[in-house]
Chain A
């Protein structure tokens, strides 16, 4: 840890990560109780990436997100109630219920939108970065994607132009080891960092379970981009604790229970931060319990709000086809 942190900031990181954890646990429950239509792709296990990166961003910076996007949206400033409302297809949801879990978008928090096409937002993020440069604005764009997107052509078309034109965009690759149900080793030739290296792009690899490491690495590449020094590739090594989506229960054919248990017990980003703070006697465990209780209460209230909220009226179906 090269940086000095005050306790409040560290607890804020914990709080932000727990917000995602609690939201996702509730989402899983809503699926299991058949309250939520469709599916969702849980971010549990990867919280340190979204929080570490988004804490290093300004409110007016932009992100693009993925099908596994709840964590990014929350970390960038989305609220529980409108998120849950969107997941339930209700009118007060961020997209009036027309987007759902995979398409949450929110201009107020700089969220250009979650995208259900793997790698599909690489062009959008890069275009937003070009737009910032053309308008003389010093905002930075972070493009989140999983390692599965590393075999999509659009990602490289976009990275090439970003590097050519020194655009303020960060390609944040969340390597959770699995392209859906397939280990990345079966799909990905060469090395991850060989890809940005081919474009001469600045690249940083970081432990994606360590929120402080992510925060520091993200801070460096974001400030570099903000100063006009060009894009970076930020590789965050992480792990998806649960399945590809909420219905992916039997995972034995692609990974072992032991592996999952190891990550859940030894490599949980929340436990890692809490233990780091406790080891240094920066706080005591009651503080974490209190944070968790407060957030769980907030989640309950938000879910009730979403359950009680109305569905979109029929007239909504053909609204917003054209601007």
Chain B
């Protein structure tokens, strides 16, 4: 037996796997349904080993039918189970939008609180995997727009495990977006039980000169930028909302009040996206403290191209963050 809560270095993927396994051991109502999730352990191999422990009755390999499995998740959740629906690529969530937007999100409200949908939808975001326009999108903003859904976007193995466990225990539908480029990312994760409440941001780096708000893998872009900025004497604070809906607006505003400047970085398309929402909240809440307009970096407003030479132009980079931060700090 290992010491409870002994901290090891494990990958993001292992942290996700561990969260699901722990919750399935704890609660017999939890089960998974999705494409190639059993023996294959998903295309990203993140769920490897679960079917051996929990069997094919609880790790259900489904047909390729995203709307169908999401709908099945809704019905199972309403009648006593706690399903985790696995949508292999975030791009495929478009096929399940009616079930998410018109069904899962609204059933609790439309029924006057009589029915609830304790379901998790697990999917991905993120480009630069050379997978072209239909396997590279970051569509989380679509779901953040819908009242009734909660949306999480963990950036570290520690957050991935703690947030996913909370999501599975939540009585509302929660969609979790994992950046598929982060599955191999390693970080410290306690063994066994701990949870991170939904709706609480985390300050990933303390600083005083500028706030960099990053979501999902863009937290690491922000941290990388902060390192470079530190070399020229700009101390950036990196804030990770962790949960996009509900959003911890207080932590975001307080950080911007402290630093007087903010850049918001997210991998969704720039127009009408997460960056616009967060920038607006900061501009509104920290207006009298700001020394510069709140700036945004997101994916270019183009379909994600295949060629590496083009694809790398479409997503925010540490260099872009550094340049923007220097401008905001008057250090050009």
- Whole-angstrom CA separation of A153 from B150 in the bound complex: 26
Contacting pair B74 A322 (CB below 8 A): no
Closest 6 CB pairs of A and B: A123-B71, A127-B75, A157-B68, A96-B112, A127-B72, A323-B116
- Whole-angstrom CA separation of A153 from B63 in the bound complex: 14
Contacting pair A323 B112 (CB below 8 A): no
Distance between A287 CB and nearest chain B CB, rounded to angstroms: 37
Given the interface pairs A113-B111, A154-B98, A161-B63, the reply to whether A124 lies near B71 with Cβ below 8 Å is yes
Contacting pair B107 A113 (CB below 8 A): yes
Given the interface pairs A134-B57, A322-B150, the reply to whether A126 lies near B63 with Cβ below 8 Å is no
Q: Which of A101-109, A223-231, A235-243, A267-275 contacts B (4 or more CB under 8 A)?
A: A101-109
Interface residues of A in 127-141 (CB under 8 A from B): 127-132, 134-135, 141
- Whole-angstrom CA separation of A106 from B115 in the bound complex: 8
Which single member of B71, B74, B81, B108 contacts A134 (CB below 8 Å)?
B81
Distance between B179 CB and nearest chain A CB, rounded to angstroms: 25
A95 interface contact, C-beta 8 A? yes
Given contacts A123-B74, A124-B78, A320-B109, list 4 more A-B pairs with CB under 8 A: A93-B112, A96-B112, A120-B99, A123-B72
B207 interface contact, C-beta 8 A? no
Given the interface pairs A117-B98, A123-B99, A134-B31, the reply to whether A154 lies near B172 with Cβ below 8 Å is no
Distance between A116 CB and nearest chain B CB, rounded to angstroms: 8
- Whole-angstrom CA separation of A96 from B114 in the bound complex: 10
Q: Please, which residue of chain B has its CB at the minimum distance from the CB of A160?
A: B63
Interface residues of B in 129-177 (CB under 8 A from A): 147-148, 150, 171-172
Q: Please, which residue of chain A has its CB at the minimum distance from the CB of B66?
A: A157
* A→B interface (CB under 8 Å): 62, 64, 93-99, 103, 105-107, 112-113, 115, 117, 120-132, 134-135, 141, 153-154, 157-158, 160-161, 164, 319-323
Which single member of A107, A120, A127 contacts B77 (CB below 8 Å)?
A127
Contacting pair A128 B111 (CB below 8 A): no
Given the interface pairs A113-B107, A321-B148, A322-B108, the reply to whether A125 lies near B75 with Cβ below 8 Å is yes
- Whole-angstrom CA separation of A96 from B80 in the bound complex: 23
Q: Which residues from chain A contact B78 at a C-beta distance below 8 Å?
A: 112, 124, 127-128, 131
Distance between A128 CB and nearest chain B CB, rounded to angstroms: 4
Q: Which residues from chain B contact A132 at a C-beta distance below 8 Å?
A: 79
Q: Please, which residue of chain B has its CB at the minimum distance from the CB of A164?
A: B63
B233 interface contact, C-beta 8 A? no
Q: Which residues from chain A contact B72 at a C-beta distance below 8 Å?
A: 123, 126-127, 130, 158, 161
Contacting pair A98 B112 (CB below 8 A): yes
Contacting pair B102 A120 (CB below 8 A): yes
Q: Please, which residue of chain B has its CB at the minimum distance from the CB of A129?
A: B75
Contacting pair B63 A157 (CB below 8 A): yes
B249 interface contact, C-beta 8 A? no
Interface centre among B62, B72, B80, B114 (most CB of A within 10 A): B72
Given the interface pairs A117-B98, A123-B99, the reply to whether A320 lies near B112 with Cβ below 8 Å is yes
Contacting pair B62 A161 (CB below 8 A): yes
Contacting pair A321 B109 (CB below 8 A): yes
Contacting pair A130 B148 (CB below 8 A): no
Contacting pair B111 A105 (CB below 8 A): yes
- Whole-angstrom CA separation of A134 from B28 in the bound complex: 10
Contacting pair B81 A135 (CB below 8 A): yes
- Whole-angstrom CA separation of A106 from B111 in the bound complex: 8
B118 interface contact, C-beta 8 A? yes
* B→A interface (CB under 8 Å): 31, 57, 62-63, 65, 67-81, 83, 98-99, 102-103, 107-118, 147-148, 150, 171-172
Q: Which residues from chain A contact B109 at a C-beta distance below 8 Å?
A: 98, 320-321
Q: Which residues from chain A contact B114 at a C-beta distance below 8 Å?
A: 94-95, 105-107
Distance between B71 CB and nearest chain A CB, rounded to angstroms: 1
Distance between A221 CB and nearest chain B CB, rounded to angstroms: 19
- Whole-angstrom CA separation of A128 from B103 in the bound complex: 14
Q: Which residues from chain B contact A157 at a C-beta distance below 8 Å?
A: 63, 65, 67-69, 71
Contacting pair A120 B68 (CB below 8 A): no
Contacting pair B112 A94 (CB below 8 A): yes
Q: Please, which residue of chain A has its CB at the minimum distance from the CB of B81?
A: A131
Contacting pair B67 A130 (CB below 8 A): no
Contacting pair A105 B147 (CB below 8 A): no
Distance between A87 CB and nearest chain B CB, rounded to angstroms: 14
- Whole-angstrom CA separation of A323 from B76 in the bound complex: 16
- Whole-angstrom CA separation of A105 from B150 in the bound complex: 23
- Whole-angstrom CA separation of A97 from B113 in the bound complex: 11
Q: Which residues from chain A contact B57 at a C-beta distance below 8 Å?
A: 134
Q: Which residues from chain B contact A93 at a C-beta distance below 8 Å?
A: 112
Given the interface pairs A99-B111, A323-B116, the reply to whether A128 lies near B31 with Cβ below 8 Å is no
Q: Which residues from chain A contact B77 at a C-beta distance below 8 Å?
A: 127
- Whole-angstrom CA separation of A270 from B65 in the bound complex: 41
- Whole-angstrom CA separation of A244 from B72 in the bound complex: 29
Which single member of A95, A121, A134 contacts B111 (CB below 8 Å)?
A95
Contacting pair B110 A105 (CB below 8 A): yes
Contacting pair B71 A122 (CB below 8 A): yes
Contacting pair B113 A127 (CB below 8 A): no
Contacting pair B76 A128 (CB below 8 A): yes
Q: Please, which residue of chain B has its CB at the minimum distance from the CB of A139?
A: B79
Given the interface pairs A158-B71, A161-B65, A323-B172, the reply to whether A124 lies near B113 with Cβ below 8 Å is no
Contacting pair B111 A103 (CB below 8 A): yes
- Whole-angstrom CA separation of A113 from B31 in the bound complex: 23
Contacting pair A154 B113 (CB below 8 A): no
Q: Which residues from chain B contact A103 at a C-beta distance below 8 Å?
A: 110-111
